[in-house]
Amino acid sequence: MNEFNPTLKGLAAKEEILMPGHRLCAGCGASIVVRQVLKATRGPTILVNATGCLEVATTIYPYTSWAAPWIHSAFENTAATASGVVAAERAFEKKGLGKRSDVIAFAGDGGTYDIGFQALSGALERGEDFLYVLYDNEAYMNTGIQRSGSTPRYAWTTTTPVGPAEMGKLEYKKPIDLIVAAHDIPYAATASPAYWRDLIVKARKGIEVEGPAFLHAISTCDRGWRHDTGETVEIMRLAVETCYFPLFEVENGEFRLTSRSKAIAKRPELKKPVSEFLKLQGRFSHLIKPENADKLEEVQKGVDRYWEKIKKLCGE
Ligand SMILES: Cc1ncc(C[n+]2csc(CCOP(=O)(O)OP(=O)(O)O)c2C)c(N)n1
Ligand code: SF4
Ligand SMILES: [Mg+2]
């Protein structure tokens, strides 16, 4: 069992499991999310990966970037595959064939909010013992930036274009964290790789709890979000600083703000306008134009409403 030391020194000394040489785009948030989560492992770990950019770009035949046992599952059944791996590990342990490994599943937003939701909800209801990590880049990126249940209102995607007739996606982002928390699982949390210690500590908690754990990490996509590759971490920081993506955890039903979000709740003057987050991304460039000021104001009001709701749930 590895000793957990979430300091820069401790984390630098810990082995990498996602190795260099993969084909994710330069500046892709997914590889940062995954590397940080894997810094939290406590021993032998089996990884399950839904179809999506992460899977495709890390396993181009005949190569693999994974220095741990890894299984690709179909787009729609990551949580079911992870449940099967956990069951097999339990059976081996029962037969005296060694201690069971931890299991971590990785899936994108398309594979979680939409097509994989039934498998996820079932695994949470059955109380399966694994950590499910959602890397959320807010669209189906691997197949060409199509909108998903996670894409926010007014975002441009290839299936929600921006023009005289339409202003990007018209529906709202599904509140996946609240839906998952409603399953009353032992642990659920949100995270941003810009706040790396917060993310890694949450991943470790998710690995350690008995039963299902869910970690929802924001994950930039420079192709789909249309941003400079050098601004990846800054955008994931602004998502938190603007309260577009609050950081919180739900432990046995108790909601708690963490990290920068906790600081913003105490000192509201730290909260930045959502335009700071939007203006670095081409997918929202229409919202920054003066003629769409009313739409920008609507987005700001939506962010404020959601932030107030999360603060209330967290008892702030
Ligand atoms: C049943 C099924 N439908 C469609 C596809 C095609 N497909 C492969 S990856 C993908 C997009 C995945 O989106 P997401 O889960 O958000 O991950 P991302 O690529 O954005 O990282 C789609 C639609 C598939 N593999 N299987
Ligand atoms: S398309 Fe987006 S999500 Fe996919 S590898 Fe490139 S940056 Fe990452
Ligand atoms: Mg996606």
Angle (nearest 5°) at CA 286 between 281 and 292: 135
Mean pLDDT of the chain: 97
- Per residue in 28-82, pLDDT (tens digit) is 999 999 999 999 999 999 999 999 999 999 999 999 999 999 999 999 999 999 9
pLDDT for 200 equals 98
* Ligand 1 atom closest to the CA of 137, numbered from 1: 20
Higher pLDDT among residues 235 and 1, named by residue: 235
β-pair partners for 167: 162
| CATH for the 8-313 domain, from 3.60.20.10, 3.40.50.970, 3.40.50.300, 3.30.1240.10 | 3.40.50.970
Ligand nearest to the CA of 108: 1
Q: How far is the CA of 172 from the centre of ligand 3 (A)?
A: 16
* Ligand 1 atom closest to the CA of 112, numbered from 1: 15
- Are 226 and 291 spatial neighbours (Cβ–Cβ below 8 Å)? no
What is the DSSP-derived secondary structure letter of residue 66?
B
The share of the chain scoring above pLDDT 90, in percent, equals: 99
- Per residue in 178-217, pLDDT (tens digit) is 999 999 999 999 999 999 999 999 999 999 999 999 999 9
pTM attached to this predicted model = 0.98
Question: What band does 3 get if pLDDT is binned at 50, 70 and 90?
Answer: confident
Q: How far is the CA of 91 from the centre of ligand 3 (A)?
A: 34
* Atom 8 (ligand 2) nearest CA: 28
Domain ranges in the chain are 8-313
Ligand nearest to the CA of 114: 1
pLDDT for 315 equals 97
